[in-house]
């Protein structure tokens, strides 16, 4: 029988090497898996292995969440911990596409919605990783992960990302994008984004030709933007992320974070593909609002 320690170690390796998750997510998920297994040993009064974990029911997971509530866990944190448990159960169950039916169904806690603001990088990555982990097939998870990283990492509109074709290959450190009114521009392709896109290409079961869509649906046709919107909606609900965090909001976050980091408006205008500078200037107001929020929360004389 696989011991709990061995299962958690294998789960960690699976997240790092098989799913290519960030160190932050691996650390959080593994910590939750360790805590969950320790609880189960007390809960069932004996050793815990794959057999015991596969036999878990809704009541067992609810008992764990109630136990964690005793530690002062918030609704938002409980939602994220439940997401990690689901991933662990799916892994222990073999990770098969039809394995989801064996995982106990449990509704997550109600989460608090924050005020509208640019999504934090941590929230964006957590959401993208949850979507990839929850996908029915490995290549679908790799695809969704690559799409969302591209929207945030390069500031693309969702239509621009899904209009890419196999002609973009081989990838380099920049990407040619066709935007509104068929205007083309060059955007940077960060190493992590390029790596995610190449990983998707390696796993995609459909042939990648210059004329066909780069991002493909399950049957091989172009990926629908509504599918991406739907998985984003599901993930942010589970993780307690603001409902303002839509695929298009990742482009806004890209712009706001660049501006906060010192990018000038003209450069930002080019990166976003805005026809006029006035379209880009809206981000100065967003950034000023964010700075005021930071000031009011941090300055000792602000209240």
Q: So which residues are the catalytic ones?
A: 157, 180, 248, 251, 274, 283
Nearest to 111 by CA among 235, 23, 200, 13: 235
Q: Is 227 exposed, middle or buried (0-12, 13-18, 19+ CB in 10 A)?
A: middle
Q: Give yes or no for a contact between 21 and 45, defined as CB atoms under 8 angstroms apart.
A: no
Q: Give yes or no for a contact between 84 and 65, defined as CB atoms under 8 angstroms apart.
A: no
CA dist 218 and 140 (Å) reads 8
55-80 burial: b if 16+ Cβ within 10 Å, else e: ebeeebbeebbeebeeeebeebebbb
CA dist 303 and 186 (Å) reads 45
């Amino acid at each position: 029988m696989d011991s709990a320690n061995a299962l958690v170690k294998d789960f960690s390796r699976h997240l790092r090497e098989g799913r290519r998750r960030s160190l932050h997510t691996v650390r959080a998920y593994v910590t939750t898996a360790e805590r969950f297994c320790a609880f189960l040993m007390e809960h069932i009064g004996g050793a815990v292995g794959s057999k015991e974990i596969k036999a878990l029911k809704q009541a067992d997971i609810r008992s764990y969440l109630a136990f964690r509530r005793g530690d002062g866990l918030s609704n938002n944190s409980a939602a994220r911990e439940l997401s990690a448990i689901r991933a662990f159960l799916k892994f222990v169950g073999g990770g098969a596409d039809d394995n989801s039916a064996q995982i106990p169904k449990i509704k997550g806690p109600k989460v608090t919605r924050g005020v509208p603001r640019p999504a934090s990088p941590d929230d964006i990555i957590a959401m993208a990783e949850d979507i990839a982990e929850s996908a029915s097939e490995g290549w679908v998870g790799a695809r969704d992960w690559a799409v969302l990283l591209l929207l945030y990492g390069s500031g693309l509109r969702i239509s621009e990302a899904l209009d890419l074709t196999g002609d973009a290959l081989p990838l380099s450190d920049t990407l040619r994008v066709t935007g509104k009114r068929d205007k083309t521009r060059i955007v940077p392709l960060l190493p992590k984004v390029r790596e995610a896109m190449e990983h998707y290409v390696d796993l995609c079961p459909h042939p990648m030709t210059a004329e066909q869509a780069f991002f493909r649906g399950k049957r091989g046709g172009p990926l629908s933007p509504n599918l991406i919107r739907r998985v984003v909606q599901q993930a942010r609900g589970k993780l307690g992320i603001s409902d303002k965090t839509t695929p298009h909001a990742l482009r806004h976050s890209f712009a706001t974070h660049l501006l906060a980091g010192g990018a000038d408006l003209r450069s930002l205008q080019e990166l976003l593909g805005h026809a006029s500078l006035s379209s880009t200037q809206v981000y100065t107001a967003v950034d000023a609002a964010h700075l005021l929020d930071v000031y009011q929360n941090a300055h000792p004389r602000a209240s």
